[in-house]
Structure formats: C-alpha cells, structure tokens
Structure 1
Amino acid sequence: MPRAETVLVAGTASHVGKSTVAAGLCRYLADRGVDVAPFKAQNMSNNARAVARADGEGFGEIGVSQYVQANAAGIAATTDHNPVLLKPRGDGESQLVLDGEAVGHFESGAYYDDHWERARETARRAHGRLAAAHDVVVAEGAGSIAEINLHDRDLANLETARFADADVLLVADIERGGVFAALVGTLELLPADVRERVVGAVITKFRGDRSILEPGLEAFEDRTGVPILGVLPYDDPGLPEEDSVSLPALDAAATIGDDGVDERNAVTIAVPRFPRASNVTDVEPLARIPGVRVRFVPLDSPLSADAVVLTGTKNTVDDAIAAREGGLYGRLRDFAGPIVGLCGGYQLLGERLENAEIEGTGDTGTVPGVGLLPIETRFSPDKTVEPVERRLDGCGPLTGAEGIVSGYEIHMGDSILLEAVERPFGDDGAAAGDVLGTYLHGLFENRLAREAFLDRVYESAGRVRPETGGDDGSPYDRAADLVVGIDLGPLGFDRVE
C-alpha cells in the first residue's frame, strides 16, 4: 500500500505559529497539485467543528485548526484529521472525543492511565488511512515537543513522529525572546531517535532587519547542525484561534479588532468571558471588520459596549451560575443594545436550565437563566454534532437578512419554546426584541448574517458605519504567502518561490 510522506510541524512552545505554518504548507502544496491532508493526533481545545466521520457514519468533532487546514488543502475535513480531541471542562477534567465521538469525561490521570493506549491506536489508524489516500500529510504537533515529563505519552509530538515516520520541522517564535535558547534547548531535550528526524527549523513573527539576525542563524547552525529553513515575517493571516491561549484571564479584559478607525465611527461588541468558554472563534469574523472592536470582559464588569455576544460554553450550567454570581444576569437584562447568544449563550438567555448537573455535587436540578428569551433547555446524555444549512428569516438583531446560511451544531441539551416567538432559523433559535439566540455556530462567518448584525449594531449605537476597504484576501492564501522563503528541499520539495 502506498504511504504518504509526513511532515510534523512541531514547536518549541504553544502559540509559536505551528497552526499557521501547517495551514500555509497545506495551501502551498495543494496549489501546486500535491494531494495533501492535515493531521493532528491529539488536540486539546474547546474550539471544535462538526465534520463527516471518516467511516461515513454521520458526523463528529475535530479541532478547528484541522478543519481550517483541510480547507486550505482543498479537501473535505473528516474525523481522521484530528482523531483524538480533549475538550477541557474545568477542574482538570476533559471530555474525550475519539474518531469524532465523545466517549466520556476523565481527569488527566485517568486518561493517561486508562485511555491513552486506546487514543494512540485511534490516532495511528487514522494516520494510516490518510497516508494511504494522500501524497503528503502535514501533521501539527501540540505545545512544546520538548516536555520531558510527557515523553512517554506525547501523542501529538513524539508518538506521531514515530508511527508516521515523519520528518520534523521545528517552529520557534522570535517575538517571545530567547528564540535561539528555545531552539537549542528543545533539540537538547529531544529523545535521540526524534532528534535525528529534525530536518530544519523555522523562526516565526520576525520584525526588523534580517541582517541583524544573521550571526545568530549561523551560530545556531554551527552549534546544532540543524539548518534554519526560513524566517517568517510577523503577520496574522486571519485564521481562527485553535484554543484559549489568546483569551484574557478571567479577571482581565482584552480587545481584538480594528483600532485604526475614528472613534465616532467605531462600535464595541462585549463578549463576557465564561470560565469554560468554547467556540470563541465565532466572534472572530466580527473583529476582522474595520470599525468593529470585540472586547472580552470579565463576568463581573460593566457591559460598556454597543452590543453583546454570548459565546458557547463547555458547561452551560456552571457558567450560568458563575454569570449570575458575577452580576451578568442583571446587566444583560438592563442592556439596551443588541444581544446574540450562540449555543450555550443561547441556552443561558432562556428562562431556565432543567436536569442541570451542578459540578462537584452530583446533583441535578433547575438553574435559572437570564430570562430574555422564552425558552427552556433540558439536558440529557445525548449530544448533537452536525454541520447544518438553514434558511435565515431575519428578525431581532438580524432584521433584514434573508437567505441561506451554513454552520454547525455541537451541543448537549435541547431548547423548547414556552410561548410564541419569532424563529430566525426555522425550527432553531428564538428572537424577542433586540435579543436573539441560536444553536448555529459559525453564524457570523456568513456575510448575510454578519452584515445584518453589524448594521443593527451601528443603528442602535447611533453611529455611521464606515466604508470598508474590501476583502483582505483568503486567509489560506495569506498563510501560504507567509511561508514564502521556506526552503522545503530537506522535506523533499522544491524551494517556495
């Protein structure tokens, strides 16, 4: 059986640019006729997407980065692209998803003691299927490849390098400082068999004069024998964030979006920072629009904004309790602008949560919601995971939008109407006044819905929406452009032109 060449994009730390480099390589190779597929053996993220199961039996979950990388490669994402997914839910416990299907909630010790071997075999088989079906597999590592406390159970890095017979491309972020120490230290700490697989290194997020860096590049290569295959400029191609590393702490605030627009023409959208927030990538399309600032705020802070978006949450019940205790319920009831709740945020906007399991007690009961939408959510062991396409009949903060929108659902619990109310998506969602809720993740990736919402935000704020500069280009193409200059010869490819 033919076997693809596998390249493992590993890092010296988290958030050094592995996902972007992997996506850029997928798009670059695909543009040149290479049949390429992404892979990440084990991901830990609450930013997930619903995709087709590799066995063709329904749908499952994978991390958002592998969904993005599959799009960059021009192929349909499946659960083989991320066969093991850990979704943190607080207090050291995560939901384990294998081949797209949730199999239980486990603390880290129980996972490594009782389920890691099964996870490894799941990942190995998934990679084998991809390697048999494609010419190249671009695998992404997780965190640092040099975590010596995890060397006997590092599925996304060391184990992938071994069972995939992969060449390793080491990525380090110069913006963090100490880039050469990070590279040398990582190489020193690698097991000998994996160290031999490192074919080169890439430095990301570089600003300034390359000539100043040259002596360090030469010294590193002389010391280690590992070539620097590229120095990538600082840029953000606009790919969704893989995990919560970029989110502010629970007691801090942070703003993303365009700060270059005159204050008189800008609007701010507040996003309360749930302790167990998930799928926060849902708000990123808003932050990419000129004049729109998305501000993550602590649950106990004022909603000093023109609109509010409540994101999903891995545990609606406990985040509802935290939101109520932080005073968010009252501030939402008093808020005068548009409010949109997505998935868990939709559930929280309702009257109550029934059959709610309260963390740490083992008890179930009723937890009150904000009461802005006449819905009741009842939880059960069943989980909905599916891509969806719906007819949007604009109402509430989406008034004026009419047409087809697409996205995905990943949620526990079902919501029922307690009284007649406008329904923006047929049998999904509810709208009352300027408040709207839906289970549809990816809502604002649809231009139709995004434009209607922002028009309503500007109207409610009494501001004039600025003219935009147009499309900034495909984030996949921008990621491919970013890797221009990487010498792919040691990986078996010609130099990127």
Structure 2
Amino acid sequence: MAETLLVAGTASHVGKSTVAAGLCRYLADRDVSVAPFKAQNMSNNARATPGGEVGVSQYVQARAAGVTPSTDHNPVLLKPRGDGESQLVLDGEAVGHFEARGYYDEHWADALDAARVAHDRLSQAHDVIIAEGAGSIAEINLHDRDLANVETARFADADILLVADIERGGVFASLVGTLELVPDDIREQVAGAVITKFRGDRSLLAPGIEAFEDRTGVPVLGVLPYDDPGLPEEDSVALPPVGERSVVGADDSAPDDESVTVAVPRLPRISNFTDLQPLAREHGVRVAYVPPEAALDDADAVVLPGSKNTVDDLLALTDAGFRDRLQSFDGPVVGLCGGYQMLGEEITNADIEGTGDADHIEGLGLLPVTTAFSESKTVEHVERTLDGVGPLSGASGTVGGYEIHMGDSTLTDTAARPFDGDGAATDTVLGTYLHDLFVNDTARDAFVRNTFEAAGIDPPAEEGREGGDPYDRAAGFVAEHVDLSPLGLPDQ
C-alpha cells in the first residue's frame, strides 16, 4: 500500500497545487511510482480524461508524475454555476446541480465512498500518493464533512505538509491558528510546514520561524521565494474580481508601442481561463481581464473564454452593453467553448443551462450559429486538422485539446468550418469548442501574428518566452527550497 502525503493549506491560493506538482515530478524523476489525488475539488477549470473530467491541477499533477490522468485522481468535482448551485461530477460523470445543503444531505455519503475507493485503487497501484487539500484545513464549520482535508488525512493515514502564503501578511498567525483549530488527531499527523511567495531576505524570517517551531513543535521545512513555474491556475481567486481590470503579461520587456492587448471579458462564471495563459506568456502580448461594461478602445483583439453558465453570463454581457461594443470592434475575435456559443445568433433550450426560465436567448450575433442545449454533456480529448481562417489565418496542421460542454452548435448560414468541419469563422471572428487551442504553436503563433498585423504593429523579434518545462521547474523549485528528508518519502 502506498504512503500518502497530504499537501494542505492555511487558505486557498497559497501554493498547494504547485508544491504537489513539484513533488510528483521530483519523485517520478527518481523512479518512484507516484500519483496525485484530491478527494474533492471545487473548480471550473477542468480537463477531460478517458473516464470523464477532473480538476486542472490533478490533470497537471498526473502529467508531472508521468501517469495517465484519470478520475481516480479527483473523484469528486464541484463546478459552481451561480445562485448557490454547483454541478456535481462524481467519478468523472455529471450527476446534477445542487445547492450546498442538497449536496451534503443527499450525496455526501456517495462522495466519501467514491473518494475512499479511488484512493484505495491508487494506493494499490503506486508507492506514493501526493494528495492535495482544498482551501483551509482549519474550517471548523466543515470538519464533520471536509472530504479533501480532514477525511483524506484520516482514511489515507496521511502525513501532512502545511502550506502557508506570506504575501498577504500574517503567515505565522495563519500557521499557529490552523494548528490550533484542526482536530487533535489530524494535528498529530502534521509533519512540517512550508512558507510560500516570500520576497526579500530569508534571514529576516529566522526569528519568526524559531518562535513558531518553539511554540508548536512543527518544523518549517522550507521557504519558497515568489515565483511562477508556469503551471495552469486552478482557483478563480487568481483572477480580478468582477468589475475590476487586471493585465497579465504586463511585466514583459516590450514597450507599449510594440505590444498588443488581448481583452478578455471577466465573466461572472468564467471557466477554463487557463486557455489564456499561453497567450500571456508571449513576448509583447498583454492579456487584460476587463469588466463586462468596459470599453474596448484599448484592445487589439478580444477572446471570449469558457463559462460554467453560458446563458447567465451572456445575459450579464448583454445587460452591460457588451454586444454593441463587440459588434463595433474591428480586430480579431475568438470565442472558446461558452464564448463560441455566445458569439452566435441564438441559444435555445436556455433554461437547461441557465438559472432562469427563458427558453430562447439572443446571442452576440457575430457568427451565423445557433446553439441548442440538452442534458447530455461532451467530455473528450480531440485532435483536429486546422485550416486557419480569420483570426487564425495562415495556420495549418493538427491541433489537439479537449472539449467539455453541454449544447451543440449548428450553422444558420455559410461560414468557414476551420476544425475538420467543426467550429465557425468569418474574416475576423472565430469560434470553437476546443479548449487548449493556444497551447498549439501553430494556432497561437497565427493568432498573435494576425493581432499584431491588425494593430499595425510589427511583431517583436523574440518569438516567445523561454521558461523551460513547467513540471521540471516546479520540481526544482521544491527540491531547492524545501527539506524533504523529514517527510519520509522514498529516495531521500
């Protein structure tokens, strides 16, 4: 049976996913059979596996571990859709939409069983399981039903590595408070702590670390400097709140008059925003998440991202006047998954997707497409032959990615079908269900080139940012800054 290490946190967005991915790659590089695990995840950033969908972090961690991603790595996934409801995905399959009380009353026992069984299968197949917690392990109102943290620590008999973020201040209070509030049996399983996102002179932390260790008896095994290995984000907390503007990639060296801005409306129920990360890493490209009511005057291109609730997010855009501004925009426009559905003329059976009772919703009207929702859901890896047109003109060859969506889109008039007869495109607008489109060099390079051309700017000579393999970077990051020996992992 495998040893399990639970990477738990004092809060969300403290760096658990990066530490877990780094540990997976570190062990895999030493020929240790390792697998990731997260009993319950809440995220609208998902990926398709052969058995269904899982949270993006477990997909990434499986890749880091050198194993095929599967639903056992994330047996319970909750995808928020608005009005207090989430879609429950159990062992990769969508079960239904539930409010929190309904989930705990009706499906909690099933979720716990699914998590235990998945962990048992992984434990029989591997030597080590790197489990990731969710949010804070010290949520005392949830300790009787905390599947990702407390229950995982118990049924896996896991050692616990506690991760805390110093960026927002109060790191020692967070660590001490967390250790005070976890159940007594779980407290005994904490093997050490890691402080993340530190900027400055590490020696200045020494008195605090010494006082913390004297008070709690828990060793601080490492201090990770502020860095980004380039792994996909999972938590929407990484994005600006709705109504605020944020620019990603603004730290690159290209001057303003040699850069382009890709505007992305910050949808209230945005999903799979990791589709935009490859663009933000391109030299001279700035990805700006803008409020739905924002002007597009400074934008050189627009990308509409995915949505967990296309209907309600489309209504939010319409109410904010986004339709008129987008129809007047003359640069490249790309819609991904839910964004593709929004770019069409109409959505039917809208009450299946939306939280209201409207059956028909008018689209943004940039593509001759209508989308009809049904209860069935597409979850699959795909490869397509791209015949680049419109925003992707000049691109060709095979592109790969994944589809996770409800609803089917059909043409209402003549339009190009750039993906083996799928998707739709005009001279300036393109829509597709293909997530990870911009991971493909041919598609990304064409979009960037066409955006610079439409803006009347010569593309920079540098082709892109060199960052190395993000899994190797995460592994090196953890190995360099964390003392792993007290964790009892193999090959230390």
Tell me which interval the TM-score lies in, with the shorter structure as reference length. over 0.9
Greater mean alpha carbon deviation, residues 278-287 or residues 205-214: 205-214
Supply the AA of the counterpart residue of 2:485. G
Aligned to 2:201: 209
1:218 matches 2:210: yes
CA contact under 8 A between 1:8 and 1:161: conserved in structure 2?
Answer: yes
- What is the distance in 2 between the residues matched to 1:148 and 1:31? 38
CA distance change for structure 1 residues 74 and 318 in 2, over 3 Å: closer, same or farther?
same
Give the alignment partner of residue 107 of structure 1, picking from 84, 99, 116.
99
- Pairwise CA distance, 1:6: 0.4
Q: Deviations over 1:423-447 (max 9, x none)?
A: 1101210001110000000100111
Does 2:483 correspond to 1:490?
no
2:469 to 468, 474, 477: 474
Deviation at 1:494, TM superposition (A): 6.9
Once residues 201 and 37 of structure 1 are traced to their aligned partners in structure 2, the CA distance between those partners, rounded to angstroms, is: 21
SS of the residue corresponding to residue 175 of structure 2 reads helix
- Separation of aligned partners in 2, 1:439 and 1:360: 22
Counterpart in 2 of 1:94? 86
Instruction: Please name the residue that 2:5 is paired with.
Output: 7
SS in 2 for 1:176: coil
State the one-letter code of the partner of 2:306: G
Structure 2 counterparts to residues 46-65 of structure 1, below 5 A: 46-53=44-51, 60-65=52-57
Counterpart amino acid of residue 272 in structure 2: N
1:25-46 alpha-carbon deviations (Å, 9 max, x no partner)? 0111111111111000000000
Q: For 1:75 and 1:294, how far apart are their aligned partners in 2?
A: 32
TM-score (norm 2): 0.97
- Per-residue CA deviations over 1:450-482 (Å, capped at 9, x if unaligned) read 000000000000111112265210111111111
- Note the alpha carbon deviations across 1:362-399, whole angstroms, 9 max, x for none: x3421111111111101111111101011111111101
TM-score of the two chains, using structure 1 as the length reference: 0.96
Matched, 1:412 2:406: yes
Shift of 1:276: 1.0
Q: CA deviation at 1:493?
A: 3.0
Match of 1:423 in 2: 417
Query: Structure 2 CA distance, aligned partners of 1:5 and 1:360?
Result: 43
1:115-126 correspondence to structure 2 within 5 Å: 115-126=107-118
Which whole-Å deviations, capped at 9, do the CAs of 1:341-363 have from their partners, x for residues lacking one?
Answer: 000100110110011117454x3
Q: Deviations over 1:151-179 (max 9, x none)?
A: 00000000000011100000011112111
Q: Give secondary structure in 2 for the equivalent of 1:177.
A: coil
Tell me, yes or no, if the aligned pair for 2:2 and 2:126 is still in contact at 8 Å: yes
Equivalent in 188, 206, 217 of residue 196 of structure 1: 188
**CA offset at residue 121 of structure 1?**
0.6
User: 2 CA distance for matches of 1:378 and 1:493?
Assistant: 51
Structure-1 separation of matches of 2:268 and 2:175 = 33
CA–CA distance in structure 1, aligned partners of residues 413 and 490 of structure 2: 63
Which residue of the partner structure matches residue 365 of structure 2?
A: 371
Corresponding residue of 1:234:
226
Residues 55-76 of structure 1: per-residue CA shift (max 9 Å, x gap): xxxxx11000001111111111
- The aligned counterpart of 2:174 is 182
**Native 8 Å contact 1:258 1:290 kept in 2:** no
- Take 1:265 and 1:75, find their aligned partners in 2: how far apart are those partners? 41
**In angstroms, what is the RMSD of aligned CA positions?**
1.2
Indicate the SS of the match to 1:88: strand
Task: Tell me which of 376, 382, 388 is aligned to 2:382.
Answer: 388
Distance in 2, matches of 1:267 and 1:396, equals 18
**Aligned with 1:458 (options 452, 460, 463):** 452
Matches within 5 A, 1:123-142: 123-142=115-134
Shift of 1:250: 1.2
Q: Write the deviation string for residues 290-327 of structure 1: whole angstroms up to 9, x where unpaired.
A: 21110011111101200000001111111111111111
Give 1:195 shift.
Answer: 0.3
Post-superposition Cα deviations, 1:174-194, rounded to whole Å, max 9, x if no partner, equal: 112111111111001010100
State the AA in 1 paired with 2:489: F
Would you say the 8 A contact 2:38–2:73 is kept in 1?
A: yes
Judged with a 3 Å threshold, the aligned counterparts in structure 2 of structure 1 residues 86 and 470 are, in CA distance, closer, same or farther, namely: closer
Instruction: Give the drift of 1:134.
Output: 0.6
Unmatched 5+ stretches in structure 2: none
What number of residue pairs does the alignment pair up? 487
Are the counterparts in 2 of residues 9 and 171 from structure 1 also a CA contact under 8 Å? yes
CA distance in 1 between counterparts of 2:35 and 2:467 reads 25
> 1:159 aligned to 151, 174, 196, which one?
151
